[in-house]
């Protein structure tokens, strides 16, 4: 066996890669539970690829047959229900992990110098993931898929001059139909997915160049021992590989429990109206996006003018890209920044409140919440450069707290 390994290593830099990225890659010793999210996201992307492959083997992308083919997967194909629920519930779990992952980055200032590019690539992954989820959402061609496809592509219609042409291009014709399914399937499984996968690869490469941050926001590379290794670091392998395997075990148990006992999560992970065939003659009273896109939809509805709503929504999506340059504080982690910590918590509550109202029918009683939520969300980013310059900070310890 060792001869085979030697033969392989003489032809491929496996040993060097293992050393550089695992056994001699030092990570801070004070990682907490939020540091499971990165490896779990990698796991979930791999599972989506696997379940997606099996779904593709049975799915038919035509307006006539798409709905039937998905029902066939659910009821007539061996283990089809498991594969479909893995894929559908996997999306919601990915977004839960993404929100925890980004929240962790915001809390500990992981977007700050030298990790700006890591943050920008990460946020690009999030934006691409929203597109990837939207394309997938339309494919089962239930009635909600159909109407969501109509509503979202009609938002593009409002873009000045090129809007109508873009809408026709996205739909592949005047309405949502077979041509739309074909191009959305091609994007979902090939082009968009490959760009997403490439960005994930770049994210990991950038991470290994700059190294991980930690809950204290202290740079471990600044304090090295006589042997040249960081005093507050431990080798990624075996310490964090073992820790991550434990996390994977717990997470997969939870994932299985959801699939077996609450696969639709009472309509939150999979809406009731996706169980009815697409019908252009039966419009739905309230077409709302899935929960993970709902905060942006709530902001779109916060202003009565459609164009202004689109500008507000676009601003909400774009502003977080600039986080590394908006935060001017000298201290990185919110552990030592009480004002910033409060702002982050307020932001989290606002975001999930917006997700809730974005899922509700457009009733006047929600307008005030939508407007207030949009104002807090946008205000956070616009006021941060000023607040972060003058906010009081607590003394940062020299070494990480274990
Ligand atoms: C599928 C999507 C993603 C995958 C697979 C992924 C993967 C990872 C992994 C494996 C790590 C190292 C382990 C860890 O710190 O948990 C990491 C760190 C990081 N990621 Fe991501 N990530 C994704 C999305 C994002 C997004 C959307 C953002 C930000 C908007 C982001 C920003 C960061 C930052 C700033 C770090 C360093 C955190 C620190 O050291 O404190 N990532 N990512």
Helix (H), strand (E) at residue 26: strand 26-28
The reply to whether ligand 1 has any atom less than 6 angstroms from the CB of 122 is yes
Tokens linked to 353:
């409140």
**What is the greatest pairwise CA distance in the chain?**
75
d(CA 311, CA 231): 48
The reply to whether ligand 1 has any atom less than 6 angstroms from the CB of 213 is yes
The reply to whether ligand 1 has any atom less than 6 angstroms from the CB of 196 is no
Distance 290 CA to ligand 1 centre (A): 23
Write down the pLDDT at residue 50: 98
Residues 24-61 have pLDDT tens digits of: 999 999 999 999 999 999 999 999 999 999 999 999 99
Q: Return the closest-CA partner of residue 94 out of 61, 163, 161, 48.
A: 48
| Alpha-carbon torsion angle 256, 49, 169, 355, nearest 10 | 30
Nearest residue by C-alpha to atom 10 in ligand 1: 38
SS3 217: coil
Nearest residue by C-alpha to atom 18 in ligand 1: 38
Distance 101 CA to ligand 1 centre (A): 6
The reply to whether ligand 1 has any atom less than 6 angstroms from the CB of 91 is no
Distance 123 CA to ligand 1 centre (A): 9
Q: How far is CA 11 from the centre of its chain?
A: 37
Each residue's pLDDT tens digit in the chain (402 positions)?
899 999 999 999 999 999 999 999 999 999 999 999 999 999 999 999 999 999 999 999 999 999 999 999 999 999 999 999 999 999 999 999 999 999 999 999 999 999 999 999 999 999 999 999 999 999 999 999 999 999 889 888 888 899 999 999 999 999 999 999 999 999 999 999 999 999 999 999 999 999 999 999 999 999 999 999 999 999 999 999 999 999 999 999 999 999 999 999 999 999 888 889 999 898 887 788 899 999 999 999 999 888 899 999 999 999 999 999 999 999 999 999 999 999 999 999 999 999 999 999 889 999 999 999 999 999 999 999 999 999 999 999 999 986
Nearest residue by C-alpha to atom 11 in ligand 1: 38
* 395 within 8 A of 336, measured Cβ to Cβ: yes
The reply to whether ligand 1 has any atom less than 6 angstroms from the CB of 41 is yes
* 233 within 8 A of 220, measured Cβ to Cβ: yes
* 129 within 8 A of 122, measured Cβ to Cβ: no
The reply to whether ligand 1 has any atom less than 6 angstroms from the CB of 38 is yes
Hey, how many other C-beta atoms are within 10 angstroms of the C-beta on 93?
20
- The H helix count followed by the E strand count for the chain is 16, 2
d(CA 332, CA 340): 10
| Alpha-carbon torsion angle 289, 119, 324, 329, nearest 10 | 100
SS3 211: coil
The reply to whether ligand 1 has any atom less than 6 angstroms from the CB of 207 is yes
Q: Return the closest-CA partner of residue 324 out of 195, 241, 213, 232.
A: 213
The reply to whether ligand 1 has any atom less than 6 angstroms from the CB of 102 is yes
Q: Percent of the chain having pLDDT more than 90? A: 91
Write down the pLDDT at residue 19: 96
Q: How far is CA 263 from the centre of its chain?
A: 20
Q: Residue holding tokens 């490439």?
A: 198
The reply to whether ligand 1 has any atom less than 6 angstroms from the CB of 27 is no
The reply to whether ligand 1 has any atom less than 6 angstroms from the CB of 123 is yes
Distance 320 CA to ligand 1 centre (A): 15
* 86 within 8 A of 51, measured Cβ to Cβ: yes
* 123 within 8 A of 133, measured Cβ to Cβ: no
The reply to whether ligand 1 has any atom less than 6 angstroms from the CB of 251 is no
d(CA 135, CA 152): 11
The reply to whether ligand 1 has any atom less than 6 angstroms from the CB of 110 is yes
Q: Return the closest-CA partner of residue 263 out of 87, 95, 130.
A: 87
Q: Return the closest-CA partner of residue 280 out of 377, 361, 394, 173.
A: 173
The reply to whether ligand 1 has any atom less than 6 angstroms from the CB of 42 is yes
Write down the pLDDT at residue 101: 98
Hey, how many other C-beta atoms are within 10 angstroms of the C-beta on 233?
23
- For the CA of 213, the closest atom of ligand 1 is 40
For a pocket test of ligand 1, which of 99, 203, 332 has the largest count of ligand atoms closer than 8 A to its C-beta?
203
d(CA 72, CA 252): 26
Q: Return the closest-CA partner of residue 312 out of 383, 378, 381.
A: 378
- For the CA of 196, the closest atom of ligand 1 is 1
SS3 28: strand
């Amino acid at each position: 066996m060792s001869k085979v390994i030697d033969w392989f290593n003489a032809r491929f830099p496996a040993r060097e890669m293992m050393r550089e990225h695992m056994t001699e890659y030092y990570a801070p010793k004070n990682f907490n539970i939020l540091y499971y999210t990165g490896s779990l996201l990698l796991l979930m992307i791999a599972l989506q690829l696997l379940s997606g492959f099996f779904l593709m083997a049975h799915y038919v992308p035509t307006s006539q047959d798409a709905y039937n083919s998905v029902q066939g997967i659910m009821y007539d194909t061996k283990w089809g229900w498991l594969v479909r629920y893995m894929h559908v519930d996997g999306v919601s779990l990915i977004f839960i992990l993404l929100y925890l992952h980004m929240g962790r980055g915001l809390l500990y200032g992981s977007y700050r110098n030298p990790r700006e590019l890591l943050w920008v690539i990460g946020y690009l992954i999030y934006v691409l993931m929203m597109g990837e989820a939207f394309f997938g959402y339309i494919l089962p061609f239930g009635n909600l898929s159909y109407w969501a496809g109509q509503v979202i592509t009609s938002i593009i219609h409002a873009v000045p001059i090129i809007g109508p042409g873009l809408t026709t291009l996205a739909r592949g014709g005047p309405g949502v139909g077979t041509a739309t399914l074909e191009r959305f399937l091609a994007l979902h499984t090939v082009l968009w997915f490959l760009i997403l996968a490439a960005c994930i690869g770049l994210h990991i490469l950038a991470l290994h160049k700059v190294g991980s941050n930690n809950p204290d926001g202290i740079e471990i590379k600044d304090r090295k021992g006589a042997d040249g290794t960081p005093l507050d670091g431990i080798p990624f392998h075996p310490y964090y590989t073992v820790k991550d395997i434990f996390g994977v075990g717990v997470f997969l148990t939870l994932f299985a429990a959801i699939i077996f006992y609450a696969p639709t999560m009472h309509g939150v992970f999979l809406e009731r109206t996706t169980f009815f065939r697409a019908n252009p003659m039966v419009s739905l009273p309230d077409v709302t996006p899935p929960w993970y896109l709902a905060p942006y939809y709530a902001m779109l509805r916060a202003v009565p003018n459609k164009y202004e709503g689109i500008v507000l929504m676009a601003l909400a999506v774009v502003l977080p890209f600039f986080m590394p340059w908006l935060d001017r504080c000298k201290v990185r982690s919110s552990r030592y920044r009480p004002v910033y910590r409060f702002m982050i918590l307020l932001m989290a509550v606002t975001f999930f409140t917006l997700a809730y109202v974005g899922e509700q029918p457009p009733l006047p009683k929600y307008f005030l919440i939508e407007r207030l939520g949009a104002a807090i969300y946008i205000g956070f980013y616009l006021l941060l450069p000023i607040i972060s310059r003058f906010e009081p900070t607590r003394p940062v310890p020299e070494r990480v707290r274990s």
